[in-house]
């Protein structure tokens, strides 16, 4: 039978079984399954299961069905009508596979609801045999075309879920509880799993090993304590891998998922990230702590964090390459500039234990004023905040003028020089004879007095009467390496003949304290005394061993005071 040209009725499906999944009917499948679960199981029979209630009950025989009934004018019907329903194997013709009448069905505002199979059960074989089409008659009039029923009626076969392939559904529950469908944590029962699709890739969370598609496996995120459904930043590289303490350092980090980077931590610092891209950013850090290993922690706007590999913080030592001026005058305050490396805020300077306040500082220079110091050496130290120290010493001299040095033409027969005073008299006499201005003393020590305390200690140069420089300063004079040996007389003449010179003095100007090194304080030709070699650059003051005080042909060195 076909519908007349001017139909009295128009029935529209309300969406429950118009070719889509009916949540009411489809839920009949899942009533034998754990609450809130949906998954694909293979037991020789593939079933798509949707979440329902946790109640384990027999599957109902009826299929809920809802439709919309309009009159010829297209207006919703409100009345009691007789409805007949039948299932066929084709779109037209054929013999009904099942049929059922519903008399006096209440229709309100066009909407009606019935349970198909409530009076005549629908055999499961009908729904499992192939395509099924529903035919509806309203008050005896057949509506065309028939409507194909897809997923909803096939839910009738869910009656076998109580025993799939002969296995109790308890097996299914155990699979859900014990088997990781996505290969790892979190478990299927975790609220972060389920049938949701966090990254919208079409794969439900419980089957997706990376729910949020941030390239970090869910299992790894669980281990790290981050959310599997929220994008987590990954920090893959950090350059350089080592930074210097107490100094500014720029780190470049690369990774993924960095577009919404909100904050960064490095140890106790919270540097502001710059040059942020989805795959990189930079930070500047000044780790004010001792050597240690730190990591960079990046946090996104969603609260998820990721960390870098280790960054080593190293301590560097300050260095001193020069000090200008390189010497001080006794009892005079002097401003000096220390040049070196690794000077940072917090670096301190001391002179012989006295802390000095820098008046200027860069990473390579520090300016301080050294207070008046006595003649001698002043220790100068630069201490980095990390505790490492660089040290040098400055000579505090009696003058910064050039000091004249010569060797005597007099050759002494023995070590009895008449003491220090007798030797000084010889030096002064030869200087006067050569018209050299100033006071001259012998480079000579006895057991109580050093040569260094007797002659001029200059921060300037030491030169011979002919203008040839033997040392640039006292420090240069006493460092075992003269520029040239002392081989010039007071009058500027020289001799090629090397000789010994009485000294009793170490290379640094200090004295030997035993009589065996100074011919009994230069009053005896008996015993032994210490001497140096003229013309020599390294052993000019101290040439071992000591020689007999009876030796002849030995000279003296004379220094301007």
Residue ranges in the chain modelled with pLDDT below 70: 1-61, 150-179, 181-183, 289-291
Domain limit, last residue, from 150, 168, 186: 168
* CATH number of 65's domain: 2.60.40
Shared domain for 126 and 113, answered yes or no, is yes
Domain co-membership, 70 together with 152: yes
Identify whether residues 407 and 540 lie together within a single domain: yes
333 is in which domain, residue-wise? 319-397
Q: Is residue 383 part of a domain?
A: yes
The answer to whether the beta carbons of residues 61 and 121 sit under 8 Å apart is yes
Q: What per-residue confidence (pLDDT) applies to 165?
A: 52
| Number of domains, the chain | 4
* Cα Dmax for the chain: 157
Q: 225 in a domain, yes or no?
A: no
Is this model's pTM higher than 0.75 or not? no
Domain presence at residue 247: yes
φ/ψ of 480, rounded to 5, equals: 70, 15
The rounded distance, in Å, linking the Cα atoms of 126 and 129 is 6
Q: Which residues pair with 282 in a beta bridge?
A: 252, 274
Indicate if 30 and 155 belong to the same structural domain.
yes
* In 341-451, alpha helices (H): 419-433
pLDDT of residue 15: 35
Reference 288, options 319, 315, 252; nearest CA is 315
pLDDT of residue 61: 63
CATH number at residue 519: 3.10.100.10
Same domain, yes or no: 40 and 80: yes
Mind giving me the DSSP string for 324-373?
ESSEEETT--EEEEEEEE---TT-EEEETTEEE--SEE-SSEEEEEEPP-
Domain assignment present for residue 220? The answer is no
* CA-wise closest residue to 556 among 478, 514, 503: 503
Residue 459 lies in a domain: yes
pLDDT at 160: 45
Same domain, 15 and 78: yes
**CA gap 106, 13 in Å, rounded:** 16
Tell me, what's the pLDDT at 163?
52
With DSSP H G I counted as helix, E B as strand and the rest as coil, what are the percentages for the chain, rounded to 5?
10, 35, 50
**Do both 373 and 515 map to the same domain?**
no
| Domain stops at, among 362, 381, 397 | 397
Task: Say if 184 falls within a structural domain.
Answer: no
CATH number at residue 365: 2.60.40.10
Same domain, 388 and 417: no
329 shares its domain with 415? no
Round to whole Å and give the CA distance between 292 and 435. 68
| 437 and 521 in a common domain | yes
pLDDT score for 209 = 80
For residue 198, being part of any structural domain is answered with no
- H or E segment to which residue 24 belongs: helix 23-30
Whether 288 and 411 share a structural domain: no
Predicted confidence (pLDDT) per residue in 164-173, tens digit: 555 566 656 6
pLDDT of residue 171: 58
- Indicate whether 216 belongs to any domain: no
Last-in-domain residue among 376, 397, 418: 397
142 plus 85 within the same structural domain: yes
């Amino acid at each position: 039978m076909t519908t007349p040209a001017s139909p009295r009725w128009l029935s529209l499906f309300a969406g429950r079984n118009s070719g889509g999944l009916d949540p009411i009917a489809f839920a009949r499948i899942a009533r034998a399954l754990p609450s809130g679960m949906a998954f694909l199981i293979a037991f020789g029979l593939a079933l798509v299961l949707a979440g329902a209630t946790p109640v384990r009950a027999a599957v109902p025989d009826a299929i809920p069905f809802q439709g919309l009934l309009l009159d010829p004018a297209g207006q919703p019907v409100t009345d009691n009508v007789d409805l007949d329903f039948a299932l066929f194997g084709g779109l037209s013709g054929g013999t009904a596979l099942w049929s059922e009448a519903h008399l006096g069905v209440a229709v309100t505002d066009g909407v009606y609801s019935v349970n198909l199979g409530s009076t005549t059960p629908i055999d499961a074989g009908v729904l499992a045999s192939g395509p099924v089409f529903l035919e509806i008659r309203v008050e005896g009039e057949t509506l065309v075309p028939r409507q194909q029923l897809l997923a909803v009626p096939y839910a009738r076969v869910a009656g076998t879920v109580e025993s799939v392939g002969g296995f109790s559904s308890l097996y299914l529950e155990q699979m859900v509880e014990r088997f990781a469908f996505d290969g790892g944590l979190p478990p299927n029962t975790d609220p972060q799993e389920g049938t949701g699709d966090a990254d919208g890739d079409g794969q439900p969370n419980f089957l997706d090993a990376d729910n949020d598609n941030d390239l970090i496996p869910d299992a790894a995120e669980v281990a790290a304590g981050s959310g599997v459904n929220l994008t987590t930043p990954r920090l893959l590289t950090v350059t350089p891998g080592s930074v210097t303490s107490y100094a500014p350092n720029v780190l470049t980090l690369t990774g993924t998922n960095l577009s919404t980077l909100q904050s960064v931590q490095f140890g106790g610092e919270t540097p502001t990230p710059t040059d942020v891209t989805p795959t990189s950013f930079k930070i500047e850090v000044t780790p004010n702590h001792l050597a240690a290993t730190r990591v960079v922690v990046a946090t996104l706007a969603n609260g998820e964090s990721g960390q870098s590999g280790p960054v080593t913080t190293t301590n560097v030592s300050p260095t001193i390459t020069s000090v200008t001026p390189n010497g001080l005058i006794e009892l005079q305050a002097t401003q000096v500039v220390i040049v070196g490396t690794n000077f940072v805020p917090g670096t301190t300077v001391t002179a012989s234990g006295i802390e000095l306040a820098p008046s200027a500082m860069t990473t390579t220079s520090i300016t301080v004023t050294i207070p008046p110091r006595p003649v001698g050496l002043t220790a100068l130290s630069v201490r980095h905040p990390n505790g490492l120290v660089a040290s040098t010493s400055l000579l505090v001299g009696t003058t910064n003028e050039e000091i004249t040095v010569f060797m005597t033409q007099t050759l002494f027969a023995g070590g009895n020089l008449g003491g220090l005073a007798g030797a000084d008299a010889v030096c002064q006499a030869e200087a006067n004879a050569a018209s050299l201005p100033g006071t001259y003393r012998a480079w000579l020590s006895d057991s109580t007095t050093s040569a260094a305390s007797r002659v001029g200690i200059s921060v300037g140069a030491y030169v011979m009467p002919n203008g040839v420089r033997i040392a640039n300063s006292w420090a240069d004079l006493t460092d075992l390496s003269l520029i040239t040996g002392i081989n010039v007389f007071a009058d500027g003449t020289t001799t090629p003949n090397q000789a010994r010179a009485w000294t009793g003095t170490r290379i640094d100007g200090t004295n030997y304290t035993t009589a065996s090194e100074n011919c009994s304080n230069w009053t005896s030709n008996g015993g032994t005394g210490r001497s140096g070699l003229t013309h020599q650059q390294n052993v000019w003051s101290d040439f071992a061993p000591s020689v007999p005080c009876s030796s002849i042909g030995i000279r003296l060195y004379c220094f301007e005071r």
